[in-house]
Structure 1
Amino acid sequence: MTDADLDPVIHSASRLRVVATLAALDRGDRIAFPRLQGLLDMTAGNLSTHLRRLEDAGYVQQTKTHQGRTPATYVELTGEGRAAFDRYTRTLTELLKGAQP
């Protein structure tokens, strides 16, 4: 097993932080974009770029709505994203243990 076996979409340090944070939420829970931004200490533009890549892979879903007149964006990990993160963590654990295929 090599690091090439790790999901390249998740393997980026920033995207790994995003997915790990979202995976800590209960299934079906979502988090407001500003809250996620604050937790990760990322700029809005940087977080948006990484979320777009994760969304393109089907790993996250963004829901845009309004609260009164204020736009609000919520982010959640999809079932596919949760499964990909589980595979990623299993692969990484095996890699760290020095397991061979």
Structure 2
Amino acid sequence: MNAFNEVIHQPVRLKIMAALNAMPKGEQIEFVRLKAIVGATEGNLGAHISTLENHGYLAVKKDFFANRPRTRVSLTPTGRRAFEAHVTYLRDIIEGGGV
């Protein structure tokens, strides 16, 4: 049985997880691109990424590209499973399966 995921359900985190879930497994997205997709401020996005990373849902890689700092984010296998379970839970509610 799938359960409500309080961590993922927050609107900005749900958008982050949905964007990353739509990407091929192991694919990374740059912070600035994710910021544009989600529509969050840098500070807000950073805080939500940290929360998801602390729960093992995201992997964050920081490096330099052309002498500029770069942050890339990817969904972990744990994160993908958690997102899929949460989406299934929400679909069950919509389809009348209840909670």
Question: Normalised by the size of structure 1, how large is the TM-score?
Answer: 0.91
Match of 1:48 in 2: 46
* Percent identity over paired residues: 36
5+ residue gaps, structure 2: none
1:31 maps to amino acid: I
> 1: CA distance between counterparts of 2:98 and 2:38?
34
Task: Give the secondary structure class of the aligned counterpart of 1:75.
Answer: strand
How much is the aligned-residue C-alpha RMSD, in angstroms? 1.4
Deviations, residues 16-56 of structure 1 (Å, cap 9, x unaligned) = 01100010000010100001101111100000010011001
**Unmatched tracts of structure 1, length 5 or more:** none
> SS at 2:40's partner residue?
coil
Equivalence map 1:18-97=2 (5 Å): 18-97=16-95
**TM superposition score normalised by structure 2:** 0.93
In the comparison of the two structures, how many residue pairs are matched?
98
The runs of at least 4 aligned residues of structure 1 exceeding 3 Å deviation read none
SS in 1 for 2:23: coil
CA displacement at 1:96 relative to structure 2: 1.2
